[in-house]
Chain A
Amino acid sequence: MNNQPVYTDNDPQSELVTLNLGPTHPATHGVFQNVLQLDGERIVSGVSTIGYIHRAFEKIAEHRPFYQITPLTDRLNYCSSPINNMGWHMTVEKLLNIKMPKRVDYLRIIIMELARISDHIICNTIIAQDTGATTTFLYLFQFREHIYEIYEEVCGARLTTNIGRIGGFERDFNDIAFAKINKFLKEFPVALKEFESLLNRNRIFIDRTAGVACVSVEDALSYSWTGPLLRAAGVDYDVRVSEPYSSYEDFEFEVPVGTSGDIYDRYLVRNEEMWQSVSLIEQAMEKIKHEPAGVFHADVPDFYLPAKEEVYNNMEALIYHFKIVMGEIDAPKAEVYHAVEGGNGELGFYLINDGGRTPYRLHFRRPSFINYSMYAHMSEGMLLSDAIINMSSMNIIAGELDA
């Protein structure tokens, strides 16, 4: 009843058509519905309905110890779970005032930038796919598989990674992981260059994307857009630069910005960010060589799970193990907001701790949710086929939309 288009024409001879785009439509790449009122192929008005995969993460989080919330964050933006995992670990570490050794920071940057690349691969190849360029999609998409293989080597999982722990990583990156990262660094730039040469100056692609769904800086800021979408509109806001976390301040990288906020600019911004991510990973691999080897967590026995052999052979480790698993850590009563630059923008964690075993309140600032609020409004007057690629270029991930 509520999900009707804003503009309804009760004239029986009306030429307007109501179209249900979604909830399960192959072109929406996720479970969300738009009820559109169409005049021919042009959208007159639309209403977005979301919540089809709402899983009440904020409520669940109020009943889980901190370390059990990491798997929930996996399922927000499941295309770049490691960024969510690290964001959550860093939020708790900020609450607990834990400082990470540099090597851990750099390892985290490697894994976060790999996640960013995999997120941007998905978005950009799908823009190409939706404009009809299937080759590019298949060609670059295999590198997401290579990134997942690196995750697998680091943590054992591929999609919902649960990488790392509060206080560091659960284990050091092994030699195979480093070898795979080096192989990726060698092969990916070649493929990305070819991907760009297939699309960047492609007349059909430019005709479909340039000048479509332009967003002004004022609109983007008013709708609280962040991430590549805001940068494509021309604002150089990047959490990694504005509030460096995990030692991003040690690195040299550029923040690409667009000018018109259209789909082509968003595509270019994401592509350039992939180049910057490759450079960040290379720098981190270089910096790690100068750090003491084998350090993969901070020395905080109160909060970091002890090794299993310690637990079986050492009373103190057993006590810590029990306390941490039961959530009996002494976290200060405080509230903390920590933001990381996710694949889609500022991913924020607002955590209120009252000294109990679980957070008193945890709120996720989910960039997809906030970015998507403009979608129905910006679709008005747009062609249906343009609205589809507009949705692809916003990279709306259903898990992050609904939480």
Chain B
Amino acid sequence: MAELTNNDVIQLLSEKFSHKISGVNEPYGLLTIETTKDVIIEVLAFLKDNSGTGFSFLTDITAVHYPETNHIAVVYHLHNMARRLRIRVKVFISEHTPTIPTATVLWNGANWMERETYDFFGVKFEGHPDLRRILNMDELNVHPMLKQYPLEDPNRVDKKDEYFGR
């Protein structure tokens, strides 16, 4: 099987979704792209089913909160096992309206990954068959991985960065 490189994937993606793909980067060799939430399922489906890309395996779904820009990034890791290539797809969504279409239409494994992301970041995956908390208790009324929730008593002073010259 011919080797698949990051450049091949970038080319295929930009032919299909030219203006919707941005932020192409290769940190430590792992191709990373950004896209928007209106085409995310199309992009994932293209990456999954197109024979040229073949990222048919969903490794992981998670999210990252960026309070400075009021964004939550939903991060998908896909894997082409046969040709040993990974890709990371990011979608930045507003933290005030954190909604994104569900990937359960493509992979069954997305079910629990999205439940976990919802539980910790409050990202609402539209169309998810069973979107409820998974690790935290149902009565919890916050999404604890958002950066505004401190780990411990915020009044502690022995761990403040300013005391360490930062």
Q: A50-B134, A222-B108, A402-B135 are in contact. Are A334 and B59 (CB under 8 A)?
A: no
| A8 contacts B by Cβ under 8 Å | no
Q: Mark A365-387, 1 if CB is under 8 A from B, else 0.
A: 10001101110010000000000
| A54 contacts B by Cβ under 8 Å | yes
Provide the bound-state CA to CA distance between A356 and B164, in Å: 12
Across-interface contacts of B27 in A (CB, < 8 A) = 334-336
Q: Mark A273-304, 1 if CB is under 8 A from B, else 0.
A: 00000000000000000000000000000000
Q: CB distance A337 to B120 under 8 Å?
A: no
Q: CB distance B151 to A60 under 8 Å?
A: yes
Q: CB distance A235 to B81 under 8 Å?
A: yes
| A198 contacts B by Cβ under 8 Å | no
| A350 contacts B by Cβ under 8 Å | yes
Provide the bound-state CA to CA distance between A346 and B78, in Å: 13
- Residues of chain A in range 297-313 having any CB-CB distance to chain B below 8 Å: none
Give the distance to chain A from B138, nearest Cβ to Cβ, in Å. Answer: 6
Provide the bound-state CA to CA distance between A174 and B116, in Å: 43
Q: A2-B132, A59-B145, A243-B84 are in contact. Are A373 and B77 (CB under 8 A)?
A: no
CB-nearest residue of chain B to A61: B151
Size band of the A side of the interface?
35 or more
Q: CB distance B151 to A361 under 8 Å?
A: no
A2, A51, A363 pick with most chain B CB within 10 angstroms: A363
Provide the bound-state CA to CA distance between A403 and B62, in Å: 14
Q: CB distance A58 to B57 under 8 Å?
A: no
Give the distance to chain A from B131, nearest Cβ to Cβ, in Å. Answer: 11
| A242 contacts B by Cβ under 8 Å | yes
Query: Which label, helix, strand, loop or mixed, suits the secondary structure of the A interface?
Result: mixed
Q: Mark A220-236, 1 if CB is under 8 A from B, else 0.
A: 01111100000000010
| B30 contacts A by Cβ under 8 Å | yes
Q: CB distance B151 to A337 under 8 Å?
A: no
Provide the bound-state CA to CA distance between A334 and B30, in Å: 12
| A352 contacts B by Cβ under 8 Å | yes
Q: CB distance B60 to A363 under 8 Å?
A: yes
| A179 contacts B by Cβ under 8 Å | no
Provide the bound-state CA to CA distance between A377 and B159, in Å: 46
Q: CB distance B81 to A51 under 8 Å?
A: no
| B127 contacts A by Cβ under 8 Å | no
Q: CB distance B136 to A350 under 8 Å?
A: no
Q: CB distance A373 to B30 under 8 Å?
A: no
| A326 contacts B by Cβ under 8 Å | yes
Provide the bound-state CA to CA distance between A50 and B119, in Å: 13
CB-nearest residue of chain A to B159: A63
Provide the bound-state CA to CA distance between A56 and B65, in Å: 16
Q: A224-B107, A334-B28 are in contact. Are A365 and B120 (CB under 8 A)?
A: no
Across-interface contacts of B112 in A (CB, < 8 A) = 369-370, 372-373
4 other A-B residue contacts (CB within 8 Å) besides A58-B120, A63-B152, A237-B81: A2-B138, A63-B151, A348-B59, A365-B60
Give chain B's interface residues, CB within 8 Å of chain A: 27-28, 30, 32, 56-60, 62, 64-65, 75, 77, 81, 84, 86, 88, 107-113, 116, 120, 132-138, 144-145, 151-152, 159, 161, 164, 166
A/B interface sample: 14 pairs, CB < 8 A: A58-B145, A59-B144, A63-B159, A222-B108, A224-B58, A224-B60, A224-B113, A337-B77, A361-B64, A361-B65, A372-B112, A374-B108, A402-B135, A403-B135
